């Protein structure tokens, strides 16, 4: 599966479509990849050899502990000594450690697989918990048995461990157990299926990428980028580790012979053009024989509400990114566009890796913020209270979006902050921004007091609530953001603004970046500094009306909003339809029969650019080489006219050809489909299932019990639908859904948190041109 040479596969290719390009690396790619690897190493993303050895020793020790534990349980249940000696349990790893992209100090996601007589509640969370608590090397032991994916968290010799448990139907667990087989799920309970999912998905990802080393380097890069740009957090509504792994793996399939530097560039290029909610899939979804629910928007209404489906490749397949909202999708779309433009500038040697990885200035990006403060009486209570509140924050975003009819966008900060002067305190922030491109009156306000009270009431319904657990939500202007959120407690100075080429104010710091990128400062609004000051704008001749946008910013805002708002319509097109390649038609860019090549200098031979329609023109040879279409007619029949050059070969202007290939892969099916049911949005479904009232459902409200048997979506951009079923199990994140509702009424904490009314004047929420990309 891993090879130093070009990828060659007996089945033609990996993935649900043909690759976009089979091209191997150029000398430029080799140099840029070396630069990238050095950059990642200098950033401290690789652990030392000593730490790697220590982790292996800890995992070996943990495996010994669970083997002792299962024998102890077997003996206590009255089994004979021979059976006790044969009793076995086994430790598996998953997540970043299994993928090989973990960094120094990262935790290890582990799974304990035990026999049918070792129960989860009594034996794992009681007996094993007691054994661990007596070990001096084990600290910070915290069981979460009521989580959607039950987990036991602790530190073993200083290394953080997340330990899940899967109870199989076997009496004896063989040492060579293969959990990738679907039969392992036979007669398994729901918690076991969810717990096994992490390992099964991780192993399947590694099987479905053409080059594991290139995949790992690219994934390290994208995880680092996502954290720097503030879009790494499943629980906050962005993407978590498994989501980024699946997105990167798909790019590796589309460019099987590319090196990491090119894979990073193509990551942004592909996902900038991706038409959500078309799903990202590594393989066709299999129906399976066990009847487990799988992801299928044609049969499950809940799945139709997903904004950014990223489907796991192991049975039962599911959407790993259902937490994404329209607001967080908008933020990620903007970041993909920014990354794409920077990578294009890098290809022209007018930008570098520092520009790509520049941290996102969250507290400069907006004029208004919501601050959510939580407190408790001790560290243990704060940890539990924090986990519960984190799992509810997504509902606040959904409530604000719904109650303001989508006119007020929320950008949750994916990390928490703590005021050291206050004991047992933690807080979260959300940036607030009026929907761009929509004219409003200056005096209009957003009154979200009722929305906030509704959120606080839902959070208060926590069965493990104790006196001292309090939550407060308040409105903060940018200038009043507390100092403890800034590094060193010092508010950074805001860079001076200068007029861009179109007369709009642009940060002086960013002007140099854009000049370095070879682009006019006023034309790259998302690279401009987000903290445009009104007074400074007036002094620089820019528009001083906060609801008046520059033409470029307005166009961008409308484009992003239209893309986000059309997700439901796109999903309508996706449901109940099988689109064959022959139905795709001729792309509109070739409607006039001419491929526009503006500049002869831009013509470059596009090596092996293909689309899904090329599959019938490629044959696998006995010598394991790929035979590509022999004539230009085969290509022209699939994707339109091509440009002829002197040597008679059919070639494309590479960027146009690649854009066309991406467009075909991510294209939306025809819209002549039945409309989806009306009158129910995602939040209403979430609440109607009891998930917003603490009834122990998953963080995203997608429980296996309430899922309907579903079919899967297969060929992206060409055929949607192979009769399959799908369900809803989430990625295990650091915060968990903790428990059932608090039945004694709202605790006093919510009644004693009277704050300044959250009535937001539009003039303070709206942002002027160039303030945020």
Domain boundaries, the chain: 15-44+209-359, 47-208, 362-489
Span 382-410, pLDDT tens digits: 988 998 999 899 899 999 989 998 889 99
Domains 47-208 and 362-489 share a fold: no
Banded model confidence at residue 442, pLDDT cuts 50, 70, 90 = low
Banded model confidence at residue 147, pLDDT cuts 50, 70, 90 = confident
| Longest Cα separation, the chain | 87
Provide the H-helix boundaries in 409-550: 449-460, 508-516, 534-539
d(C-alpha 180, C-alpha 620), whole Å: 28
Architecture of domain 47-208: 2-Layer Sandwich (3.30)
d(C-alpha 510, C-alpha 341), whole Å: 14
Architecture of domain 15-44+209-359: Orthogonal Bundle (1.10)
Strand partners, 419: none
CB 726 within 8 A of CB 303: yes
List of residues 6+ apart from 80 with CB closer than 8 A: none
535 pLDDT more than 70: no
Enter the DSSP assignment of 358.
Answer: P
| pLDDT at res. 496 | 58
CB 730 within 8 A of CB 198: no
Span 26-76, pLDDT tens digits: 999 999 999 999 999 999 999 999 999 999 999 999 999 999 999 999 999
d(C-alpha 455, C-alpha 746), whole Å: 12
Strand partners, 94: 109
pTM value is 0.71
d(C-alpha 106, C-alpha 231), whole Å: 18
737-750 burial by CB neighbour count: b if 16+ within 10 A, else e?
bbbbebeeebbebb
Total residue length of the chain: 773
Q: Are strands 650-651 and 643-644 parallel, antiparallel or unpaired?
A: antiparallel
268 pLDDT more than 80: yes
List of residues 6+ apart from 671 with CB closer than 8 A: 569, 572, 573
Banded model confidence at residue 676, pLDDT cuts 50, 70, 90 = very low
- Specify whether domain 362-489 bears CATH 3.40.50.300: no
CB 301 within 8 A of CB 576: no
The mean-pLDDT minimum among 106-115, 362-371, 637-646 falls in 637-646
542 pLDDT more than 50: no
Span 712-760, pLDDT tens digits: 222 333 333 333 333 333 333 333 322 323 323 334 343 333 444 455 5
Provide the H-helix boundaries in 475-575: 508-516, 534-539, 551-565, 567-574
Banded model confidence at residue 495, pLDDT cuts 50, 70, 90 = low
Span 581-603, pLDDT tens digits: 233 332 333 222 222 333 333 33
654-668 burial by CB neighbour count: b if 16+ within 10 A, else e?
bebbbbbbbbbbbbb
d(C-alpha 145, C-alpha 384), whole Å: 12
């Amino acid at each position: 599966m891993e090879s130093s040479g070009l990828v060659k596969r007996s089945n033609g290719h990996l993935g649900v479509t043909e690759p976009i390009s089979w091209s191997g690396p150029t000398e430029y790619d080799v140099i840029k990849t070396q630069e990238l690897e050095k950059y990642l190493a200098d950033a401290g993303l690789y652990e030392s050899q000593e730490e790697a050895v220590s982790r292996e020793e800890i995992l070996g020790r943990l495996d010994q502990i669970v083997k002792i534990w299962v024998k102890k349980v077997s003996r206590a249940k009255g089994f004979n000594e021979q059976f006790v000696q044969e009793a076995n349990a086994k430790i598996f790893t998953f997540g970043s450690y299994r993928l090989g992209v973990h960094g120094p100090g990262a935790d290890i996601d582990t799974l304990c697989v035990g026999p049918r007589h070792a129960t989860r509640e009594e034996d794992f969370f009681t007996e094993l918990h007691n054994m661990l608590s007596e070990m001096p090397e084990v600290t910070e032991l915290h069981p979460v048995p009521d989580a959607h994916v039950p987990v036991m968290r602790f530190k073993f010799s200083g290394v953080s461990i997340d330990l899940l448990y899967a109870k199989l139907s076997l009496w004896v667990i063989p040492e060579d157990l293969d959990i990738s087989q679907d039969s392992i799920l036979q007669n398994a309970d729901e918690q076991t299926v969810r717990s096994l999912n992490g390992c099964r998905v991780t192993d399947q990802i590694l099987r479905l990428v053409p080059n594991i080393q290139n995949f790992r380097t690219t994934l390290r890069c994208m995880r680092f980028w996502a954290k720097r740009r503030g879009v790494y957090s499943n629980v906050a509504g962005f993407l978590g580790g498994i989501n980024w792994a699946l997105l990167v793996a798909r790019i590796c399939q589309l460019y099987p012979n590319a090196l990491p530097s090119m894979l990073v560039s193509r990551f942004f290029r592909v996902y900038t053009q991706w038409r959500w909610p078309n799903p990202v899939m590594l393989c066709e979804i299999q129906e399976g024989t066990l009847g487990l629910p799988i992801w299928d928007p044609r049969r499950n209404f809940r799945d139709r509400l997903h904004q950014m489906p990223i489907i796991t490749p192991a049975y039962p397949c599911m959407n790993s990114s259902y937490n994404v909202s329209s607001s967080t999708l908008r933020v990620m779309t903007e970041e993909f566009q920014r990354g794409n433009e920077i990578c294009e500038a890098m290809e022209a040697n007018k930008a570098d890796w520092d520009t790509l990885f520049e941290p996102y200035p969250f507290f400069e990006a907006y004029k208004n913020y919501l601050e959510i403060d939580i407190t408790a009486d001790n560290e243990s209570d704060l940890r539990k209270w924090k986990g519960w509140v984190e799992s509810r924050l997504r509902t606040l975003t959904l409530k604000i979006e719904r109650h303001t009819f989508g006119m007020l966008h929320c950008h949750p900060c994916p990390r928490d902050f703590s005021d050291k002067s206050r004991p047992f305190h933690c807080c979260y922030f959300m940036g607030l921004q009026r929907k761009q491109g929509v004219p409003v009156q200056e005096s209009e306000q957003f009154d979200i007091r009722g929305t906030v009270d509704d959120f606080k009431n839902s959070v208060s319904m926590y069965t493990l609530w104790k006196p001292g657990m309090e939550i407060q939500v308040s409105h903060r202007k940018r200038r009043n953001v507390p100092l403890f959120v800034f590094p060193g407690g010092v508010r950074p100075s805001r860079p001076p603004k200068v007029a861009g080429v179109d007369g709009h104010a642009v940060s002086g710091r960013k002007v140099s970046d854009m000049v370095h990128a070879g682009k006019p400062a006023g034309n790259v609004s998302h690279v401009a500094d987000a903290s445009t000051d009104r007074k400074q704008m007036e002094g620089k001749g820019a528009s001083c009306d906060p609801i008046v946008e520059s033409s470029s910013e307005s166009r961008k805002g409308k484009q992003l909003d239209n893309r986000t708002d059309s997700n439901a319509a796109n999903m309508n097109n996706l449901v109940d339809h099988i689109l064959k390649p022959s139905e795709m038609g001729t792309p509109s860019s070739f409607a006039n029969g001419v491929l526009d090549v503006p500049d002869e200098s831009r013509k470059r031979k596009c090596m092996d650019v293909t689309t899904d329609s090329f599959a019938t023109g490629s044959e696998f040879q006995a010598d394991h080489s790929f035979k590509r279409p022999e004539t230009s007619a085969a290509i022209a029949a699939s994707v339109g006219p091509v440009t002829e050059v002197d040597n008679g070969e059919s070639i494309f202007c590479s960027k146009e050809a690649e854009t066309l290939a991406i467009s075909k892969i991510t294209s939306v099916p025809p819209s002549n489909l039945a409309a989806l049911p009306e009158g129910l949005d995602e939040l209403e479904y979430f609440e109607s299932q009891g998930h917003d009232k603490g009834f122990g459902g998953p963080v995203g409200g997608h429980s296996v019990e309430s899922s309907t048997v579903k079919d899967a979506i297969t060929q992206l951009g060409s055929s949607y639908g192979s009769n399959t079923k799908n369900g809803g199990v989430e990625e295990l994140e650091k915060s968990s859904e903790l428990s059932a509702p608090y039945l004694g009424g709202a605790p006093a904490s919510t009644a004693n948190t009277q704050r300044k009314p959250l009535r937001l004047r539009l003039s303070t929420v709206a942002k002027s041109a160039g303030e945020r990309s």
